[in-house]
Amino acid sequence: MSPKLCLGTVQFGLPYGITNKSGQVDELEVKNILADASKAGFSWLDSAQAYGDAESVIGRNLPVEHNFQLVSKLPAQRQSIFTANHVSIWEQSLQLSLSRLGISCLDSLLLHSTDDLRKPGAEFLKEWLFGLKERGLVRRLGVSIYEACDLGPVDSELLDLVQLPLSLYDQRLLQNGTITYLRSQGCLVHARSLYLQGLLLTPADRWPSWIDQATRDHHAKLGAFAAGHARSLLECALDFARVQQELDGVVLGVCSRAQLDQLLKAWVMPPFLQDQGWHVWSIKDSFSLDPRRWPR
C-alpha cells in the first residue's frame, strides 16, 4: 500500500528551496492549491511555527469542507535551560498556532529539534507535551529528525509521528533500519525532502557549483536513465516514494497549481523503479544530502 500524501506548506510562508525561483507562493494561489489538494485526497497538511506566516495563510484559505489532518512544529528553543516559567511561553506559542490555523486542536505537534530534550529542565517540556494530549489539544506527539542519532533523547511516549529525510539519493534511514524500528514501535513515519529542495528534479548542468563532480555525474546518469524509460526526474522521485510500504506519508511541497497537477499525475503512474532496483541510486555524500550544511 502506498503512503498517503501530505502537502508541505513552507513555501506558503517563506521563499523556501534552493531551486525555488518564484519565491513565496501568492495567497490566491495557496487558496487554489489547498482546494485542489483537498479534492485530490491529500490526507495531511504539514506546517510549522518557523515557516514565516504559513500558518496564518493556511488558516485564511482552508476549504470549508476538508479532511486534512494538520501538523505543526514547535520551533527549536533558544534557551539553554528550561524552567517551569517556560511552560507559559510554549502554551502561548501553541495557542497562537491554533488561532492562526483557525482550529481547536492539531492532529500532530512535532519538536523541530530533539536537542531540546537534552537540555537541563527538559522534563518541563515533556510534561507540557504529554499534557496537550490529555487536554485534547493534540492527537499525536512527535519529532522531526535529520539523522538516527537525533532519536537518542526521545522518550518512546513522544514517538507517535516522526518526520525524517528520505529520497532516491538519501536512503540512510531506510538502509540503517531506523524506519523499520520506528514502525515496530507503532510510530507513524512521514518522509520529507523527497526532492532535496528541488535538486533531484533539476538537471545536473544546472546544479550549484559547490556540489562535487561525482555527485553531478551520478545525477546525470539518473537523468539519462529516466529519459531512456520515457520518464521524468519527478516520476523517478515519486516512484521511489510510492514503493516504500513502511512509510505512512510523504511530505511534498508545490509552488503552483500546475506543479500540484504534475505531482498528482506522476503519483498515479505505473511503477517502474521497483523492477530496476532503486537502491542503486543511493549516494553517500552527506554534504549534498544535508541542507543544513549547504552554502547560504
pLDDT in tens, 88-98: 999 999 999 99
For the segment 273-282, the average pLDDT, to the nearest whole number, is 76
Verdict on whether the full-model pTM lies above 0.85: yes
The grid cell for 209 is 557549483
Among candidate residues 37, 10, 36, 7, the one with its CA nearest the CA of residue 23: 10
What is the DSSP secondary-structure string of 143-180? EE-SSGGGGTT--GGG-SEEEEE--SS--HHHHTSHHH
- Per-residue model confidence (pLDDT) at position 104: 95
Lowest pLDDT segment from 14-23, 82-91, 272-281, 287-296: 14-23
pLDDT value at 149 more than 80:
yes
What is the span of the domain harbouring residue 27?
4-293
Residue 260: Cβ-neighbour burial (10 angstroms; 0-12, 13-18, 19+): buried
| Sign of torsion over alpha carbons 136, 187, 242, 192 | positive
| Positive or negative: CA dihedral 241, 242, 243, 248 | positive
Element (H, E) at 42: none
256-266 tens-digit pLDDT: 999 999 999 99
Report the CATH number at residue 32.
Answer: 3.20.20.100
Strand partners, 284: none
18-47 residue pLDDT tens: 444 567 899 999 999 999 999 999 999 999
Type of residue numbered 260 = L
In percent, how much of the chain has pLDDT > 70? 94
Q: Residue 275: what pLDDT? A: 53
Amino acid (1-letter code) at residue 178: T
Residue 158 has pLDDT above 70, yes or no: yes
What is the domain count for the chain? 1
Q: What's the mean pLDDT when you consider all of the chain?
A: 91
CB neighbour class for 43 (10 Å; exposed up to 12, middle 13-18, buried from 19): middle
pLDDT band at 295 (very low <50, low <70, confident <90, very high): confident
Closest to 287 in 3D by CA, of 206, 212, 204:
212
Q: Which sign does the torsion angle of CA 93, 249, 183, 201 carry?
A: negative
* Beta strand spans in the chain (E): 4-8, 44-46, 69-74, 106-111, 138-144, 161-165, 188-192, 249-253
SS3 239: helix
Question: What are the C-alpha distances in Å from 92 to residues 98, 99, 135?
Answer: 10, 10, 15
pLDDT of residue 20: 47
Nearest to 249 by CA among 37, 43, 36: 43
Q: Mean pLDDT, to the nearest integer, of 231-238?
A: 94
d(CA 123, CA 212): 43
